[in-house]
Amino acid sequence: MTIDQREAKIKDLVSSMTLEEKVSQLLHESPAIPRLGIPEYNWWNECLHGVARSGVATVFPQAIALAATFDEEFVRQVADAISDEARAKYNEAVKRNNRGQYWGLTFWTPNVNIFRDPRWGRGQETYGEDPYLAGRIGLAFMKGLQGDDNEHLKVAACAKHFAVHSGPEKLRHEFNAEVSKKDLFETYLPAFKVLVENGVEAVMGAYNRTLGEPCCGSFFLLKDILRGAWQFKGHVVSDCWAIRDFHEHHKITKTPEESAALALRAGCDLNCGCTYPDLVVSCQKGLATEEEISAALERVLRARFKLGVFDEPKDDPYAALDGAIINCEKHQRLALEAAKRSIVLLKNDNNLLPLKDDGSIRKILVMGPSAANIHALIANYHGLSSHLVTILEGLVEKTHGRFDITIDYHQACKMYDQNHNMGWTVGMAESADVVIAVFGLDNAMEGEEGDVIASDCKGDRGAIELPDHQLAYLRALKNRGKPVALILTGGSAIAVPEDIADAILFVWYPGEKGGAAVADIIFGGTAPSGKLPITFPASTSQLPPYEDYAMKGRTYRYMVEKPLFPFGFGLSYTTFSFLGVALSEKTLSKGGSVKVAASVANTGTGDGDEVVQLYIVRDDRTEDDPASSLRAFKRVSIPAGKQALVDFTLESSAFESVNDAGESVLLPGSYTVIAADAAPLAVSVEKGAAKPVCAKITVA
């Protein structure tokens, strides 16, 4: 079907519907209209790190872990595998006349909100705290889902939650996010803009209000910015039951028909929830028009046509995808590789890791509540797999057949219940050569409102420190004098004393093959190469008030205190050195570009991957400007003793600043281009990162 034929068919369908039929198609549960050949369709589907909630699927590492790979092409491969499984599930379901929830082709992924505060339980769903990184990783994921042809979608991606949304979870249905125009356009919106400019099919509104307007009924966000300034052509969907919040919690409207009319007129096309049936009453009362309903309907029908829902099977380019590809061996290997690339080595005193294979390690003691815990693998919005490998299972499998090594395990303490600690097991460390302590968080401790049974903050964390009883156990364990390798699971920053272990690996929620990946790194099969997509503050006291959406004091760009670990940080089993950075130009004007060449050497004894990160600093910046801003990154593999020249091109827009009016401006003056493997703070070098190198350029 050509685009012209499609558009004509859409208009014909809309003109043939009654008002009630039109309204029925603007709900996430859209009923069939047999007389017009319109099948039933359920819009609600999730694939944050694998197809979720519809049975077996490959469970990849959580989104925040994918961001830790700092690898756009690899993330796109992951999303491509996910969309293959999504299409296969849809094909098989339709054959069996199953058109229910979680079996469609419209996926409410990715989450490109900024992880501004590590207490937010849903921060694990994002790509971190930096708007550039979130935009690039989000775009790669979107491209893997949708494919390259925006008129013939593989599946439909959705950028959420628009906009300025990152907790508190317990207040999200009534909260008003107050934010400056500078912070809005400098931090909260750029990732959304990148996806919109590159053809994302859907945008989901947030639960909260922003600057006084409910996000799913915001004329400023949806009309002025999204459809106005950005010229968005896709469809807008509400978060689930968010429109009901207008009258029940935000108190912006008084009745369901007023709420439905407000959302529709602002530009929300599709209602996940139960309020849009009242659009019929809205029309009768003159609050909305049938023309506005028809315009929204055209947009949602267009999405279904672009997905081929109305095509004959012979015209479907994805018809050959069937159940055989779901959680296939190739995708399992990809999940394993994703977990390996995401794991971050935060500390490695005396090169404790990888464990030596020289006969010195005879007894390994594995301890901790995350070791045998599948909830520390699967995160939230997860699928299910019969191939889940816990960290304990991975370590045991790695030592299978090693009759020179004894491995023992004790849970040590409960994950979040301080009343059931096995304090007596601490003494077992005295007979071990090394202790592998697996502690941290799981998906019962952080996540979305209503899904998290062990959070007293509706899914958020009240403090970012490791739970007191876990910390006490670890302290007692370390005091036994044996080497301790600490493995931390979780989806957000965890503040731990630096002396709590000799080595620290942060493994996120690593997916179905997480245990195998951790074991491979512990025993040296793979060198760790993940980088932190978020800053790890030293304590909760370093954070501004949680409900304050101003960026001052937050993230590496505005934080003034010394963090525990900086954004972009991550060690390897080898060492790297930046030899220099060269610029092709000494001056730059608007519309121009500069080529950047960073020289990096592997100065250690093992092969490894390094992530070269380019940051921009305006030399005469004010205290309201970012300390530095990530503007490019590239993962490179460098053999031991070898060098690599890593090339980038920076457009003049990379040097732009956002003023108080929210406008991007290119300010003349001197700028510093910094090549580094972590945000350019002294603390990163102190902890083992390479020393950054820099070059100056003048913007005319």
Closest CA to 226 of 189, 178, 259, 260: 189
Q: Write a three-state SS string for 416-449.
A: CCCCCCCHHHHHHHHHCCEEEEEEECCCCCCCCC
DSSP letters along 526-589, please?
A: S------SS-B-S-GGGSPPTT----TT-HHHH--SPPSB-TT--B-SS-EEEEEEEES-SEE-
Phi, psi of 409 (to 5 degrees): -140, 140
Cα(89)–Cα(87) distance, integer angstroms: 5
**Secondary structure class of 451 (helix, strand, coil):** coil
Residue 420 is predicted with a pLDDT of: 65
Q: What is the dihedral of CA 420, 421, 425, 426, to 10 degrees?
A: -170
What order do you get walking across the sheet with 503-508 strand by strand? 344-348, 503-508, 484-489, 434-440, 363-367, 406-410
Residue 314 is predicted with a pLDDT of: 83
DSSP letters along 58-126, please?
A: --PPPHHHHHTT--HHHHHHHHHHHHHHHHHHHHHHHHTT---TT-SSB----B------TT-GGGGGS
| 450 burial level (CB within 10 Å; 0-12, 13-18, 19+) | exposed
Quote the Cα angle for 125-126-130, to 5°. 160
Q: Does the annotation count 460 as an active-site position?
A: no
| Radius of gyration of the chain from its Cα atoms, rounded to whole angstroms | 26
Residue stretches of the chain with pLDDT short of 70 = 420-422
Segment holding 643, helix H or strand E: strand 643-651
Closest CA to 431 of 406, 455, 461, 400: 406
Beta 235-237 vs 202-205: how paired, if at all?
A: parallel
Residues 239, 278, 625, 656: which is the catalytic one? 239
Residues 46, 213, 258, 446: which is the catalytic one? 446
Please confirm whether the linkage preceding 354 is cis (ω < 30° from 0).
yes
- Report the first-to-last Cα separation within the chain, whole angstroms: 50
Phi, psi of 629 (to 5 degrees): -140, 125
Please confirm whether the linkage preceding 249 is cis (ω < 30° from 0).
no
Q: Does the annotation count 20 as an active-site position?
A: no
Please confirm whether the linkage preceding 692 is cis (ω < 30° from 0).
no
| 2 burial level (CB within 10 Å; 0-12, 13-18, 19+) | exposed
Q: Which residues contact 282 (CB under 8 A, 6 or more apart)?
A: 257, 258, 260, 261, 264, 288
**Secondary structure class of 638 (helix, strand, coil):** strand
Q: Which domains does the chain have, with CATH numbers?
A: 3-316 (3.20.20.300), 332-534 (3.40.50.1700), 576-699 (2.60.40.10)
Cα(82)–Cα(331) distance, integer angstroms: 9
Per-residue burial over 118-151, b = 16 or more CB atoms within 10 Å of its CB, e = otherwise: bbbbbbbbbbbbbbbbbbbbbbbbbbbbbeeeee
Cα(28)–Cα(7) distance, integer angstroms: 22
Overall residue count recorded for the chain in this entry: 700
Cα(628)–Cα(566) distance, integer angstroms: 12
Which two structure tokens, joined as six digits, stand for 127? 């790509």
Closest CA to 267 of 286, 246, 293: 293
Closest CA to 486 of 466, 464, 506, 511: 506
Residue 421 is predicted with a pLDDT of: 67
Q: Which residues contact 15 (CB under 8 A, 6 or more apart)?
A: none
